[in-house]
Copies of this chain bind each other. A is one copy, B any other.
Amino acid sequence: MKMIRNLAILTAALVAATALAQAAPKKPPQPTTMRDLVAASKPGDWRPLDPERTVYLDLSAGRVVIELAPAFAPRHVANILKLSRAHWYDGLAIVRLQDNFVAQLGDPLNSKPEVGDKRLPPEFTRSAADLPFYRLKDQDTYAPEVGYSNGMPVARSAADGEAWPVHCYGMVGVGRDNDPATAIGAELYVVIGHSPRQLDRNVAIVGRVVWGLELLSSLPRGTGDLGFYEPEQRVPIQSVRVAADVPAAERLPLEVMRTDLPIFQKLVELRRNRKDAWYKVPAGRIDVCNVPVPVRERPAERKKG
C-alpha cells in the first residue's frame, strides 16, 4: 500500500517516456491515473458549486459542505433551505454516529420546527425522463442501471421509468419515522460506511457532502443503541448556512468535475482498469459507489491565497 511512492516512480517513468518520444511528432501522453487526468483537465471540465443550493454545516472542528440536489427532492431541498435560513439547525447536534452506517443530525429533544413544512409527500424516486444520465456499463446488484447525473450517483429503471439517487459514501438523506410524510429535513443523515443500498427508494436523498466529510466520519461512535449518542457525546452544530447568504469572501471556492463530459468517462475508465504499476489484476469493472467525483478549490482562488 505504498502507492505514494508508486506515483513518484510512475511520474518519473512518464517523464522518461515523454523525453524518449520527443523525436516523434508530438502527442501528449494519455493520463494513466486520476491524478494525471485532473492535472491535465481544462477549466471547462469543472463547474462551480451553486451558492443557492450549497449549505455549510459548521462544527467547532470545521466546515462540512453539502451540495443539495433539488433535481431529486425539490420540496425537501426547499424546506432545508428554509430551515437553514430560519437558523433552525443552529445549536442542534450530531446525535448519532453508527459505525459503518450514518452520522445523523437533529434536535436531541425532538422538537419540531415552527417554520417550514410540517409534512411532505415522499420524494424517493423521480421520473427518469429528461434526467441527464451517464450510464456505467457494469452490472449493479441493486438496480437495472446505475450511473451519474450532475455529480450524483443515480439508479434508473427503464421498466418503470423511474430514477433515484443511490446511497453512496457521503450522500445526505432525510430521516423519518415509519410514516414517510414525517421526513421534512429537520433531521438529516450522512452515509459514512459501506453503501447502505437497502435504503434506496425508502428515503429522500437531498444531496451529498463534497467537502469536510472526514469531520463527520472520524467522530467517535455512539455508545447508545444503533449508535445514538449519550447526551454528553453529542457534537454541537454551530450553524447551518446557505452559501449564498455568506459573504462571498467567506465562502469556500469549490468546483466539481462535470460528470456529463468526456473527462468523466475517462476517469471512470481509469478507475475500472487501474494502470499504475501497483495493480496486478485490474478489476475491469466498477461499482457506482467506487467512482470518485473530484472536488477541489478553484485554481484561480488557490493562486490568490
Q: What residues of chain A have their CB less than 8 Å away from a CB belonging to chain B? A: 1-6, 9, 96-97, 99-100, 102, 104, 122, 124, 138-142, 168-170, 173, 175-178, 180, 187, 189, 193-198, 200-203, 213-214, 217-221, 225-226, 228, 271, 274, 277-283, 285-287, 289-290
A219 to B217, CA, bound (A): 9
Contact across chains for A142 and B285 when beta carbons are under 8 A apart: yes
Contact across chains for A102 and B1 when beta carbons are under 8 A apart: yes
Contact across chains for B141 and A287 when beta carbons are under 8 A apart: yes
Contact across chains for A285 and B175 when beta carbons are under 8 A apart: no
Known: A139-B141, A226-B3. A99 touches B214 (CB 8 A): yes
Some 27 contacts from A to B, beta carbons below 8 A apart, are A1-B104, A1-B176, A1-B203, A6-B177, A97-B218, A99-B217, A99-B218, A100-B169, A124-B280, A138-B141, A141-B141, A141-B285, A141-B286, A141-B287, A142-B283, A142-B287, A168-B194, A194-B290, A196-B290, A198-B286, A198-B290, A202-B281, A217-B217, A217-B221, A218-B219, A218-B220, A218-B221
Considering the complex, give the chain B residue whose CB is closest to the CB of A280: B202
The 4 closest A-B pairs by CB, nearest first: A1-B175, A214-B221, A99-B214, A201-B281
- A100 cross-chain contacts in B, Cβ below 8 A: 169-170, 213, 217
In the assembled complex, the CB of A241 is this many whole angstroms from the nearest CB of chain B, namely: 24
Looking at A124, A226, A287, the one whose CB has the most chain B CB atoms below 10 A away is A287
- A168 cross-chain contacts in B, Cβ below 8 A: 194
Contact across chains for A283 and B187 when beta carbons are under 8 A apart: no
Known: A140-B141, A178-B278, A226-B3. A290 touches B218 (CB 8 A): no
A175 to B236, CA, bound (A): 38
- A286 cross-chain contacts in B, Cβ below 8 A: 141, 198
In the assembled complex, the CB of A32 is this many whole angstroms from the nearest CB of chain B, namely: 14
Considering the complex, give the chain B residue whose CB is closest to the CB of A102: B1
Query: Which residue of B9, B176, B194, B289 is within 8 Å of A169 (Cβ)?
Result: B194
Seed contacts A1-B173, A4-B225, A194-B194; 20 additional CB < 8 Å A-B pairs: A1-B175, A1-B187, A1-B203, A2-B177, A6-B177, A99-B214, A99-B218, A122-B280, A124-B280, A140-B141, A141-B141, A168-B194, A178-B277, A194-B287, A195-B287, A196-B290, A198-B279, A202-B278, A202-B279, A214-B221
A187 to B193, CA, bound (A): 23
- A173 cross-chain contacts in B, Cβ below 8 A: 1
In the assembled complex, the CB of A287 is this many whole angstroms from the nearest CB of chain B, namely: 5
- A195 cross-chain contacts in B, Cβ below 8 A: 194, 287, 290
